[in-house]
Amino acid sequence: MSLPNIGGEHVDGLFVPPFPDPHPKKSSLFWRFVRGWNSWIHVLFEKSYTMKMGEIRTPGLHMYIANELPLVKRIMSDWRGFPKHHLLVRTLGPAIGNSVFSANGDDWATQREMINPAFQQAALGRTLPMMRDAADALVERVRRSDLDRPIDVDPLMTHVAADVIFRTLFSSPLSEGDARRIHDAFNRFQRHAQSASMLRFYRMPTLGFFHCSRRAAADIHGVFAHIVQRRLDAYRATGDLGPSDILASLMEARHPKTGAPFSFTDLMGQVSTIFLAGHETSASALSWALYCLAEEAETQRIARDEVLFVAGTRPIQAEMIRRMPIIRNVFRETLRLYPPVAFMPREVSCPTQMRDKQLAPGAMVVVSPWLIQRNPEHWRCPHAFHPARFDDPDAKTKSREAWLPFGAGPRICVGAGFATQEAAVVLATLLRTFTIRAVPGETPEPVSRLTLRPKRGVKLYFSLR
């Protein structure tokens, strides 16, 4: 079924990138199923963008959407009262097991404490050269392509983001073949997991979909399980952690009370989480950022001028990134319009009152960066791509809590600093090497499953500067 899209055009001098045309009214149970089968954002209706709180019932689930900022704050800060929903945990299980993204309660708090050191400032500094190497390898791949034809940047951004994670986790680059394997396997995982979730929401059997998602997850694990095993065996045998990377930090981590290290299964869960949460999201954001820059020639020009002024052709350093506010704003604005994690589902753990509604235990309460970040109450011209809005001091205070692409509260993304540094390195490296142009008539279509991705990729022209 073809799904309507609007945007992808300039309106009153501002570029409005594509998004699904909201339905005038809430869909019926049947149409919610049909539309949600492929993408959550295609179920939304006009009022979804402005209502303070919404309610949806399916045969298998009672779901609320909380858009009002004080409610959002309450839900996101209370990690015991509103844990990750068990349906999400079940969906993600084959890919990430019981790890920091899916765990709840004290178990989560312990895991978070154990992985935090891998993402602290000093560790971030060590990742910068690896990000630069991955960005340089990306430039070489683009150079080797036929530049007379449009290039689909979606697999390219998946490759570079997976390469960044691979290098920072394991201190080795990702091969071309493994990058393709991961791109295909994760797309399969998302499709099957989405179908299995929809069927569960409607209290129907998950048919073969859950099983297929398990197979796709096993393909992803196959890319790095042997590396984790080899490094762990060597550490156990000789005490040698190997290169100082994220895996070394995870092997070194100890349970704060028992002093126990992560087992192999635990390590595979954390590594898979970091790998998937860390590359899918960044790849999505980078693809949309390049698309918006390709459509917005003037923003692309000033962003490039900034990079050339601050870094020229020298290796990009952390202090240079701090002096690239335009690049930073482009990334922020992309995350506002296309938050890779568009919905964050939580479970109500005890009877709770929210506005005029009484929520029962087991209900799902969803916080949606997609809706909050496109709400006209918080953002002027909310669907337009306008990076400079982040320079407006008035907007800065007003919208601080209405920008949450990395989540909020104690469970905020552990990799936010990592992703911000990575995006700056990749965007700056590409912009100083290439000019990017959109392909007339080729408007990408966002679809949201576990993450938000362009349905048929993003095709762009690259030319060497």
Angstrom distances, CA of residue 12 to CA of 9, 15, 114, 253: 10, 8, 50, 54
Q: What six digits make up the tokens of 393?
A: 């001091």
Residue 294 CB, shortest distance to ligand HEM, in Å, is 19
Residue closer to ligand HEM by CB (options 133, 442) is 133
Closer residue to ligand HEM in complex, CB, 21/78: 78
* Smallest distance from ligand HEM to CB 273, Å: 5
Give Cα 323 to chain centroid, integer Å. Answer: 25
Please state the separation of Cα 460 from the chain's center in Å: 21
CA distances from 90 to 109, 210, 219 (A): 20, 10, 18
Closer to ligand HEM by CB, 282 or 287: give it. 282
Compute the least distance from the CB of residue 369 to ligand HEM, in Å.
7
Output the smallest distance, CB 287 to ligand HEM, in A.
11
- Measured between alpha carbons, how far is 124 from 120 in angstroms, rounded to an integer? 6
Q: Which helix (H) or strand (E) segment is 347 a member of?
A: strand 344-347
* Contact assessment for residue 213 and residue 229, using Cβ atoms and an 8 Å cutoff: no
Min separation Cβ 223 and ligand HEM, Å: 16
**Residue 366: CB minimum distance to ligand HEM, A:** 10
Q: Please give the full DSSP string across 52-115, using - where no structure is assigned.
A: SEEEEEETTEEEEEE-SHHHHHHHHH-TTTSPBPHHHHHHHHHHH-SSTTT--HHHHHHHHHHH
Residue 101 or 390: the one with the smaller Cβ distance to ligand HEM is 101
The footprint of ligand HEM (CB under 6 A) covers 100-101, 112, 273-274, 277-278, 281-282, 285, 335, 340-341, 344, 405-407, 411, 413-415, 418-419
- Least distance (Å) from ligand HEM to the CB of residue 460? 19
Residue sitting closest to ligand HEM (CB): 415
Q: Which residue has the tokens 């991961």?
A: 182
Q: Report the nearest approach of ligand HEM to the CB of residue 363 (Å).
A: 16
- In the bound state with ligand HEM, the residue whose beta carbon lies nearer, of 212 and 413, is 413
Q: Which is nearer to ligand HEM, 142 or 341 (CB)?
A: 341
Give whichever of 26 and 332 is closer to ligand HEM, judged by the CB atom: 332
| Structural tokens at position 207 | 């048919």
Q: Could you please report the per-residue DSSP string of 215-239?
A: HHHHHHHHHHHHHHHHHHHHHHHH-
344 vs 364, which CB is nearer to ligand HEM?
A: 344
Helix 325-337 × helix 297-310 angle, to 10°: 140
